[in-house]
Structure 1
């Protein structure tokens, strides 16, 4: 039984895209999230967008194809994270989307037994959020680190 199995060799070689629509309009007037995910590492990017944008506007954002739900698990996780944060974020969910993306990409995935960030970069994440223990908090300010840590705990 000789089968050719295509193996992914490059990170972000094959990506999936989908949209979460119908969100409450944020302070910046975003009402949707464009979700892109890497099939190999399961890492994802979340981009706040408006459903009122035209196809030409999305083309400018380099959309080449829209898949039919290939990133359903990622979207499910993102929706759950947004639900958990909706009260705390009060309508400016798009301001906190980078923290949600950070939490998602640094969360353990049982399918390949590591976080997507680690699969993508070959090491664990070193962010300002973790540096407070090393004393480097002064470079960004203790209040900002504390606020970021509290937001990530919520997520």
Structure 2
């Protein structure tokens, strides 16, 4: 990894993902964790990267439910754990959207 400017870094990427641009803005990089319990190394073969450089994450399970209260509205939310992410990296999503897209999670 080399610093190409004050806010961007050029990474040494493996040949298997050579189609990805190798310069990243610092906001896209995550802090290096020395604690082995928090480290997670992904095998490049287990991450599907499509031609347009996107990947599809699928939900694994619902961890919690919560109602977000606004002035005149209540929005039901669910905390979703995604594949290739740990439980503490789960995100809050609208329950209605998740029921529509992934009904098997609610069975």
Tell me the TM-score normalized by structure 1.
0.24
Tell me the TM-score normalized by structure 2.
0.31
Larger radius of gyration: 2
Task: Point out the structure with the larger helix share.
Answer: 1
Task: Point out the structure with the larger strand share.
Answer: 2
Q: Which has the higher contact order (CA 8 A, sep 6+)?
A: 1
